[in-house]
A and B are shown apart, each in its own frame.
Chain A
Amino acid sequence: MKFVDEYRDAELARGLGAQIAALAEPGRHYKVMEVCGGHTHTIYKHGIEAHLPESVELVHGPGCPVCVIPMGRVDDGIAIAKRPNVIFTCFGDMMRVPGGDGSLLEAKAEGADVRFVYSPLDALKIARENPDREVVFYAIGFETTAPSTALTLMRAKQEGLKNFSVMCNHVTIVPPLKALLESPDLRLDAFIGPGHVSTVVGCRPYEFIPRDYGQPVVVAGFEPLDLLQSIFMIMRQLSEGRAEVENQYGRVVFWEGNPRALDVLQEVFVLRPHFEWRGLGFISQSALSLSDAYADWDAELRYDVPGVRVADPKACQCGEVLKGVIKPWECKVFGTACTPETPIGTCMVSSEGACAAYYNFGRFAKPKARAGA
């Protein structure tokens, strides 16, 4: 399968692992954060860590859109979903995220019309097919996903479709990276940059990381060899004393991103003054809301939402996991009270969440890491 098989060659993976080990300075410990949840998923699914020397530690970042949604925003969505005449649509994993009072899936079980879709364009189709119903799309995701919401809203406006609206929870990638870099309890050596976010925003937004913090960033693809090659590129930079933004994912990511997608985002969204991230707290200018031109399609303006801040469960340590301060298995409820079937925290919900990825793919195969934790 072109663009897939050639990036899963075991022999090449072993070779890259050896080259990475050769670049590791004896006695030095390297902490590399993969920002994106998709990378976390690949790392556990394909056993990437087995190819790395012990001195290279992968730290899982905040790049899972489901994992960073605070409980209060889930409750706001459920409040809209429970309104009569509303068809509430969202991506599949979002349905299981626990709010302060149950999840969207539980709201569905209680009678709310909640449906999962793979694209906001599908939600728009539902709106066209149900002119007597109000269709709401619960939008989540980074800059990768925001263009699809933006295009959907542009089509809704063009068609004058008034029974459709969006509850916008889109977030942006750079502010949480800044928050992590400023965090005193986390010392990193480098970042594996998010591949598909960069398809849209390009590589330029990360230039502040080497410039201001002296750390390399390598934008990476999602296949096993992509990740290993990115780690090799990071180790090469560190061994040569360089700190730059490099693009490993050149077959997809352009340095300037996709200008047309950026124009669309500019038209449909504006930056929120601040937004709450699960585990990271409030981060200024880190999320998007609909611009005035699209206010008629803004579900938060159309419906009363409680807008109450809900504290995370005390037992849950998703915040520390999202910041890379602890590993999933170091959380007290990991794999016992909190499992993918009955998640307490968001990191256990999405298959790209660090806890779920580790629970599904890594928990029996990595006694070395657990012993060293």
Chain B
Amino acid sequence: MTLEKEASALPILNPFSYDAACSLVDGCLVCGDVAVPVTVVEASEPDALCQDPQGQRGMVGIELVAPIEAGDRLLVHGGVAISRLGERA
């Protein structure tokens, strides 16, 4: 089985897996140092349910940006939120 076939066999929506915050379209986001903007749907710790711009939902580790609230926008990389979006640095 090739990698591509294996990748396409992944579930599109899987709220119980961290993979939902990644994109298969633009290649391996983790390897590309590219993070995904997501919105918090349900705030909880240490994992929160988040939704990415494509509408996929997944659990995201939020220890590095806690505390969070529903509606907060986070930047997720490798299943973990590394920054908040929209705040001026």
A positions within 8 Å CB-CB of B: 1, 3-4, 36-38, 41, 45, 63-66, 91-96, 105, 116-122, 125, 140-142, 144-145, 147-149, 151, 155, 194-197, 199-200, 222, 247, 249-255, 258, 260-261, 264, 350-352
Q: How far is the CB of A150 from chain B (nearest CB, A)?
A: 9
Task: Tell me, in angstroms, the Cα distance from A195 to B28 when the chains sit together.
Answer: 16
- CB within 8 A of A252: which of B21, B53, B75? B75
Q: How far is the CB of A93 from chain B (nearest CB, A)?
A: 4
Tell me, yes or no, whether B15 is within 8 Å of chain A by CB.
Answer: no
Q: How far is the CB of B41 from chain A (nearest CB, A)?
A: 16
List, sorted by A's number, 5 A–B pairs whose CB atoms are closer than 8 Å: A118-B79, A145-B30, A147-B82, A252-B83, A352-B31
Q: How far is the CB of B26 from chain A (nearest CB, A)?
A: 7
Contact B3 A352 (CB under 8 A): no
Given known A-B contacts A151-B80, A254-B89, A261-B82, A93 and B19 have beta carbons under 8 A apart: no
Task: Tell me, in angstroms, the Cα distance from A268 to B41 when the chains sit together.
Answer: 30
- B residues in contact with A260, CB < 8 Å: 63-65
- A residues in contact with B77, CB < 8 Å: 144-145, 148, 196
Q: How far is the CB of A354 from chain B (nearest CB, A)?
A: 12
Given known A-B contacts A197-B33, A252-B75, A148 and B61 have beta carbons under 8 A apart: yes
- A residues in contact with B33, CB < 8 Å: 36-38, 63-65, 141-142, 144-145, 194-197, 352
Q: How far is the CB of A245 from chain B (nearest CB, A)?
A: 12
Could you tell me which residues of chain B, from 41 to 76, have a CB within 8 Å of some CB in chain A?
46, 53, 61, 63-65, 73, 75
Secondary structure call for the B interface: loop
B positions within 8 Å CB-CB of A: 3, 6-7, 17-19, 21-22, 26-28, 30-35, 37, 46, 53, 61, 63-65, 73, 75, 77-80, 82-83, 85-89
- B residues in contact with A118, CB < 8 Å: 18-19, 21-22, 30, 78-79
Task: Tell me, in angstroms, the Cα distance from A148 to B65 when the chains sit together.
Answer: 12
Contact B28 A121 (CB under 8 A): no
Secondary structure call for the A interface: mixed
Chain B residue at minimal CB-CB distance from A249: B89
Contact B37 A351 (CB under 8 A): no
- B residues in contact with A250, CB < 8 Å: 88-89
Contact A352 B32 (CB under 8 A): yes
Q: How far is the CB of B12 from chain A (nearest CB, A)?
A: 13
Task: Tell me, in angstroms, the Cα distance from A151 to B64 when the chains sit together.
Answer: 9
Task: Tell me, in angstroms, the Cα distance from A120 to B21 when the chains sit together.
Answer: 13
Contact A95 B89 (CB under 8 A): no
- B residues in contact with A194, CB < 8 Å: 33
Task: Tell me, in angstroms, the Cα distance from A31 to B30 when the chains sit together.
Answer: 27
Task: Tell me, in angstroms, the Cα distance from A170 to B30 when the chains sit together.
Answer: 13
Q: In this complex, which of A65, A92, A96 has the most chain B Cβ atoms within 10 angstroms of its Cβ?
A: A92
Given known A-B contacts A93-B27, A352-B28, A120 and B88 have beta carbons under 8 A apart: no
Given known A-B contacts A116-B3, A120-B78, A264-B64, A66 and B89 have beta carbons under 8 A apart: no
Contact B89 A253 (CB under 8 A): yes
Task: Tell me, in angstroms, the Cα distance from A235 to B22 when the chains sit together.
Answer: 34
Task: Tell me, in angstroms, the Cα distance from A351 to B82 when the chains sit together.
Answer: 23
Task: Tell me, in angstroms, the Cα distance from A304 to B77 when the chains sit together.
Answer: 31
Contact B85 A251 (CB under 8 A): yes
With A92-B28, A196-B33 known, 9 other A-B pairs at CB within 8 A are A38-B32, A45-B26, A65-B31, A92-B7, A119-B18, A119-B78, A145-B30, A149-B78, A251-B88
- B residues in contact with A119, CB < 8 Å: 18-19, 22, 30, 61, 78-80
- B residues in contact with A222, CB < 8 Å: 34
Contact B78 A351 (CB under 8 A): no
- CB within 8 A of A148: which of B27, B73, B78, B86? B78
- A residues in contact with B30, CB < 8 Å: 91, 118-119, 141, 145
- B residues in contact with A261, CB < 8 Å: 64, 82
